[in-house]
Amino acid sequence: MRILSGIQPSGSLHIGNYFAMIKRMIEFQNDNELLCFIANYHALTTVYDASTLRSRTLDAAMDFLALGLDPDKAIFWVQSDIPEVQELAWLLSNVTGMGLLERAHSYKDKIAKGISPNHGLFAYPVLMAADILLYGCDKVPVGKDQKQHVEIARDLALRFNSTYGETFVIPEADIESTIATIPGTDGQKMSKSYGNTIDIFADEKKLRQSVMSIKTDSTPVDEPKPTDGNPLFEIYSLFLDSEGKEELRQRFETPGLRYGDVKKELFEVIWNYFSQARNNRKKYENDMQYVYDVLKKGAEKAREIASYYLDKARHNVGLDYKFTSK
């Protein structure tokens, strides 16, 4: 099965990125054909400094490798190294209704938060659809909040196939039912834009500060603590198996638990969980040529797949005029 996953180089990776996508992605690479890319074209909707985009792109590459992405098992590249994706986005634009884009959650949410709209933001779902359809993937692992983007890609693939003939594989969203939306330190979805993340590669002091800042309620120590909608409980649960989660739930429901003590525990859990990844990352920082080589080879492999589907799309819409016989 061919599986595609991508992430924007929006700064340091946080545990929301890891549990919603990266952890599952790394597990997928063992038994599937995994394609993974760094979505630096998408980042242009929010990043307007060239040096920042360059550094974040390389940081994301090192982060992925440090966390266990194996270039011998997966195809790993940077989005902008495959120019075919932009041409496909244009072809898909011609079967995309305005209403579909106006209903996109990502667009409406950003407008509601006061972010000035532009074409890149509005057409974001079309480029994402091109990312998905260009590689003939069967499944796209996403968080619950990203499900609509895969649905849009499916819709555009069906419209394109109906209009021009069979061209694209119809992808499916793959959502981990037990991990849909991961809360940040303030209880909202964990996101850089909200400033509520717990960064994987933060230094010890910064990580401790982030964990200790997790929002909790004012339930007295001698009363049971809520678990539903409790960011501290939900974040801690990410690092536990089913038995561990049940034990944590019982602790929360037993009078006497102190949130501060749980936060201190959680810091130690997170720090130890990512210790090997921190060591791996230092290794890649000292061998950037290896990172460049991995991305170059990955782009070459990805482009072979992309060329097949783009050539098929170009033929079906009639752009290959040179080969038309009267």
Q: Domains of the chain (ranges plus CATH)?
A: 2-181+287-323 (3.40.50.620), 202-273 (1.10.240.10)
Residues contributing to the annotated binding site for ATP = 8-10, 16-17, 143-145, 182, 189-193
Q: Which residue in 73, 147, 192, 326 is the catalytic one?
A: 192
Contacts of 298 (CB under 8 A, 6+ apart): 71, 75, 76, 77
Task: Kindly provide the residue ranges of all beta strands, DSSP E only, lying in the chain, ordered along the sequence.
Answer: 2-7, 33-38, 74-78, 139-141, 172-174
From CA 228, how far away is CA 219, in angstroms rounded?
Answer: 14
Q: Which residue in 23, 73, 113, 189 is the catalytic one?
A: 189
Residues contributing to the annotated binding site = 8-10, 16-17, 131, 143-145, 182, 189-193
**3-state DSSP assignment of residue 111:** helix
Q: Are strands 33-38 and 74-78 parallel, antiparallel or unpaired?
A: parallel
Query: Model confidence at 325, in pLDDT bands (50, 70, 90)?
Result: low
Place of tokens 């968080």: 143
* CB-based burial label for 269 (10 Å; 0-12, 13-18, 19+): middle
Residues contributing to the annotated binding site for L-tryptophan = 131
Stretch among 60-64, 92-96, 152-156, 189-193 having the lowest mean pLDDT = 189-193
* CB-based burial label for 228 (10 Å; 0-12, 13-18, 19+): exposed
The pTM (predicted TM-score) of the whole model is 0.88
From CA 184, how far away is CA 179, in angstroms rounded?
Answer: 13
Mark whether 192 is an active-site residue: yes
Q: Which residue in 23, 73, 110, 263 is the catalytic one?
A: 110
Number of residues that this document lists for the chain: 326
Mark whether 110 is an active-site residue: yes
pLDDT at position 177 over 70: no
Q: What is the pLDDT of residue 179?
A: 64
Q: What is the pLDDT of residue 321?
A: 87
Q: What is the pLDDT of residue 11?
A: 83
Nearest in space to 55 (alpha carbons), one of 11, 1, 103: 11
Nearest in space to 1 (alpha carbons), one of 140, 97, 113: 140
Query: Are 257 and 251 spatial neighbours (Cβ–Cβ below 8 Å)?
Result: yes
Q: What is the pLDDT of residue 144?
A: 72
Cα 113 to chain centroid, rounded: 21
Mark whether 73 is an active-site residue: no
Place of tokens 């509601």: 112
Place of tokens 């990203």: 146
pLDDT tens column, 284-324: 999 999 999 999 999 999 999 999 999 999 999 999 987 66
From CA 234, how far away is CA 181, in angstroms rounded?
Answer: 10
Q: Which bin fits 98, alpha (ψ -120 to 50), beta or left (φ > 0)?
A: alpha
For the chain, what is the mean pLDDT? 93
Across 205-209, average pLDDT:
98
